[in-house]
Homo-oligomer: A and B are copies of this chain.
Amino acid sequence: MITTNSKEVNANEIMIKMVLDRWFALIKNFDTVLDLLTDDQLQKEVSPTKNRGIYLLGHLTAVHDDMLPLLNFGEKLYPSLSEPFIKSPDKAIKELPSAKELRASWRKVNEVLAEKFSALKPDEWFQKHNSVSAEDFIKEPHRNRLNVIITRTTHLSYHLGQFILLK
């Protein structure tokens, strides 16, 4: 369905750049806020009774880690983060990784994703992701790898809007 003539590859490259530029800009914005916050500040709620900073950091790390198998890039690096930060709401689980550990995991998973992104050829971004069957993908070709980046970028932006309230 997606062919590889030179003009089309060029158009695809433009689209890929548009999407990845937003992803990397938001990762950078998040990192800037994270570097400004102390570990104590991360223990605070973004608004009374709402999620704490440490939970948002763990949640985003776990969701980005899930992108590795979803994009067919390999196994998750931190599978133990799913239970406390995706399956459970904040404050449901008492023992969480330290802020120091989570800061390191957050950096690492985004670094690995960036490496994997840079190794993909343009056409490979338009291949199906791992949560859609080959059969469904024929009918729904928008369910490709690049679409995962679009949805995860808006997810990151949503929580960045909350995280920045801790400043």
Contacts and interface: CB of A to CB of B under 8 A. Distances in A.
A22 to B, nearest CB: 6
A156 to B, nearest CB: 8
Interface string A112-142: 0000000000000010000000000000011
Interface in A65-117: none
B8 A150 contact: no
A59 to B, nearest CB: 12
Interface residues of A, number: 39
A15 B18 CA distance: 11
Interface of A is mostly: helix
A50 interface: yes
A2 interface: yes
Nearest to A45: B47
A22 B157 contact: no
A17 B157 contact: no
Contacts of A48: 47-48
A151 interface: yes
Contacts of A36: none
